[in-house]
Amino acid sequence: MNQVVEATTSGNYFVEITSPQGCSELYSIGIENTCPGVLFVPNSFTPDQDGINDYWYVSGDRIYQFEVRLYDRWGEVFFESNDANFKWVGQRRDGSFYVEPGVYPYLIKVKFYDPKGLIGEEQLIRGFVTVVR
């Protein structure tokens, strides 16, 4: 018989194993979540106010420090945020008008912390987001 237990949180887990003859043994193991921080960055969105996929955002785990910049085709920054919970609906920095449909490069600078609270090195994430209208 093969049984699997999914450890969803850090802590001590106990298992009791019993043989067909009735002999049993208790075992324990400590599980510590040492996974690195993660960041999910979508590659497109449709800001058409239909309530579905109307803004571009990132989501992640263990984010300590965050910065995102979006560039136009001339390499000028037209949107930036230091808030990892930002929601971009396609507006320019001053919010006066919206960008045209197209592909826009971004640069994200992020630092993660580990389960022990130690802060890691800054990571640069480059990519493109497509605005579909």
Residues 90 and 107: their CA atoms lie apart, in Å, by 16
Q: Convert the pLDDT of each residue in 54-81 to its tens digit.
A: 999 999 999 999 999 999 989 999 999 9
- Sequence-distant (≥ 6) Cβ neighbours of residue 2 within 8 angstroms: none
Extents of the domains making up the chain = 38-131
Tokens 């910065």 found at: 67
DSSP string for residues in 63-111:
EEEEEEEEE-TTS-EEEEES-TT--B-SB-TTSSSBPPSEEEEEEEEEE
- What the block records as the tokens of 119 is 């802060």
Q: Is 133 exposed, middle or buried (0-12, 13-18, 19+ CB in 10 A)?
A: exposed
Tell me the pairing of strands 123-131 and 44-45.
Answer: parallel
pTM, two decimals, is 0.74
CATH of 38-131, one of 1.20.1740, 2.40.30, 2.40.50, 2.60.40: 2.60.40
How large is the average pLDDT for residues 79-90?
A: 95
**For residue 116, what are the CA distances in angstroms to 12, 112, 120?**
17, 11, 11
pLDDT digits over 16-44, tens only?
888 889 999 999 988 877 777 899 999 99
CA distances from 9 to 17, 72, 79, 117 (A): 22, 43, 37, 17
User: For residue 2, what pLDDT is reported?
Assistant: 67
